[in-house]
Structure 1
Amino acid sequence: MSADLVTIAGGAIVGLVLGIVGGGGSILAVPLLLYGVGMPSVHAAIGTSAVAVALNAAANLLMAAKRGLVKWRCGLVFAAAGMNGSLAGSHLALMMDGRKLLALFGGLMIMVGALMLAKKNAEGDPDVRLTFSSARHMVPWLVAVGMVVGVLAGFFGIGGGFLIVPGLMFASGMPIGFAVATSLVGVAAFGASTAFSYALAGAIDWRVMAFFLGGGLIGSVVGQGFAGRLILHKSAMQAVFAAFVIIVGGFIVHQAWATPV
């Protein structure tokens, strides 16, 4: 299989994951670009994936919005709080050794997945809204959690969806189905700010990004179809999402130390 076809297939997998669970796409994109496509460095893979994932997330966001699953006010406050943190985090990551960055990345995934498995309640309140009366107690949590997630998203060069989903559930009390859809606001925003930092550093392969994005758009359409069915099974969806994060995290930690990058 040619490198271009591998790139398209990898993008399709990322788009599928983004469509189904909102997060995890960029986490999978980095090892796919490194070990599948054969990109020369961790930083080049992170920068290239950040552009493709941000655009994929925007496409998924439009589809999720049409289905009425996006809590726009919560998502925008969360994303706005994290944008500056994302820029600062990406600047720090560009100065760090690639293998150490990947190992920390995988370890963070395992921790977040374990915390999600420990959280039994996936129901939440589907009618939660950010209004004038609810802002007093909701906005401080959205801003605080958004800033922390933004720093981590920028540092690890990811859209941050696998962090944004539990963050939104914790800060607002919304169910996982709505959190997955709303997280795409942050994924797109954090991915764009991270991509901006890497573009300035010249760490983006635009040709690879174009093929990756093309595959991702195909995967996104399929993923949104699955998401519409899975939203009826909230607890199972949360467990599968958490298991996915842990498995990919373990793979990345292993690869970070077993394979030269």
Structure 2
Amino acid sequence: MLLMAMTLGGAVGMVLGLTGAGGGVLAMPALMLALGYSLTDARPISLIAIGLAALLGSLDGLRRGIVRYRAALWIAAIGIACAPIGSVLMHYLPARWSVVLFSMLMIYLAWRMFRGASRDVVIRDECDCLLDPDTGRFRWTRRCASWLAGVGSTAGMLTGMFGVGGGFVIVPGLRRISDASLHASVATSLMVIALVSGFSAVTMLLGAASIGMTGWMFVGAAAAGTLFGRVCQPHVPVQPLQKMFAGVMVVAALILGIKALV
């Protein structure tokens, strides 16, 4: 069991390090299907694993100077404010339908990922958050701040509900509303995930959540996998990788949904 936890954690961390998205979504089915956790018990483990892995990835991005940290702090602040709302909503959902809802979310995200939600080509005229070519920072406007807040609130709600980090919202969101590069969007996403997931995980741990040895092995392996993924990222084409994981997500979602309904 410990070896499986390490293997799965490493794979989830590597996806997170490579794409800034998807790792959080894959963490939950890995914990539930392979390691036998319930959705409730898997959430804090997923959040700690994703938060620590994202922290390591974002530190690498900061070292390389590609994190848009002001945008990350603003998105994270909104996400942290909205995460408890997601947790409250999840509390009132029956366990079976919570899993079914999560499965539907996974299928939707897989479809978005397969279609290439993170675009390789950005049309500056369609962006509300533009980078200043002299400073490399966003030119802050009310519209830009509003769009970034929308990304943060969505990511925070989903983090509170499902313990998934929200990178699958942040990266496509940044690519859609800004002219930041894909690598900068991924690095910025990792910083947001680290902050929002870390806050949510601490909140759960202060409650009744427990991790256990298997959970901590999953967490440690995810952190190591993220570091490896960040090293490989400049040399790996992201779009084919996203399409491959989209297929994995669909299969995992169908298995989770069927098990919950049977």
TM class by shorter-chain length?
0.7 to 0.9
Are 1:108 and 2:105 an aligned pair? yes
Q: Distance in 2 between matches of 1:42 and 1:86?
A: 17
**Is 1:179 the counterpart of 2:185 in the alignment?**
yes
Matches within 5 A, 1:53-202: 53-116=50-113, 117=115, 121-124=119-122, 128=131, 133-202=139-208
Please state how far the C-alpha of 1:161 moved relative to its aligned partner.
Answer: 0.8
Q: What CA deviation, in whole Å up to 9, does each residue of 1:111-158 have, x standing for no partner?
A: 234345165842336982586853333111111221122112211221
Per-residue deviation, residues 146-202 of structure 1 (Å, max 9, x unmatched): 112211221122111111111222232323222111101121122123213432442
The aligned amino acid for 1:166 is P
Q: Is the 8 A contact 1:60 1:184 kept in 2?
A: yes
SS where residue 32 of structure 2 aligns?
Answer: helix
Name stretches of at least 5 consecutive residues in structure 1 with no aligned partner.
Answer: none
1:8 is aligned to 6
* Partner AA of 1:91 in structure 2: V
Is residue 19–residue 223 contact of structure 1 (8 Å, CA) maintained in 2? Answer: yes
Q: 1:50 to 1:118 in 2, by over 3 A?
A: closer
What is the correspondence of 1:38-49 to structure 2 with a 5 Å cutoff?
Answer: 38-39=36-37, 41-49=38-46
Cα distance change, pair 134–103 in 1 and its aligned pair in 2 (3 A): same
How far does residue 223 in structure 1 lie from its aligned partner after superposition? 0.6
Shift of 1:36: 1.9
Partners of 1:149 and 1:163 lie apart in 2 by 6
1:55-109: CA deviation from partner (whole Å, max 9, x where unpaired): 1110111112222221111111111111111121023213323332222223223
Q: Say whether the 8 Å CA contact 1:103–1:253 is kept in structure 2.
A: no
SS in 2 for 1:173: coil
| Distance in 1, Cα, partners of 2:233 & 2:106 | 22
Tell me if structure 2 keeps the 8 A contact 1:48–1:203. Answer: no
Counterpart in 2 of 1:32?
Answer: 30
Task: Please say if residues 103 and 256 of structure 2, whose CA atoms lie closer than 8 Å, have aligned partners that are also in contact.
Answer: no
Determine the C-alpha separation between the residues in 2 that align with 1:174 and 1:45: 33
1:256 maps to what in 2? 257
Alpha-carbon distance change, 132 to 7 in structure 1, aligned in 2, over 3 angstroms: closer
1:122 match: secondary structure? coil
SS of the residue corresponding to residue 158 of structure 1 reads coil
Out of 18, 21, 37, the residue aligned to residue 19 of structure 2 is 21
Identity over aligned residues, as a percent?
A: 30
Change beyond 3 A, Cα 1:156–1:134: same
Alpha carbons of structure 1 residues 250 and 133: separation in structure 2 relative to 1, 3 Å: same
* 1:213 aligns to 2:211 (yes or no): no
TM-score w.r.t. the length of structure 1 is 0.85
Distance 2:258 2:33 in 1: 13
Are the counterparts in 2 of residues 105 and 249 from structure 1 also a CA contact under 8 Å? no
Give the residue type in structure 2 aligned to 1:138. C
Q: Is the 8 A contact 1:107 1:250 kept in 2?
A: no
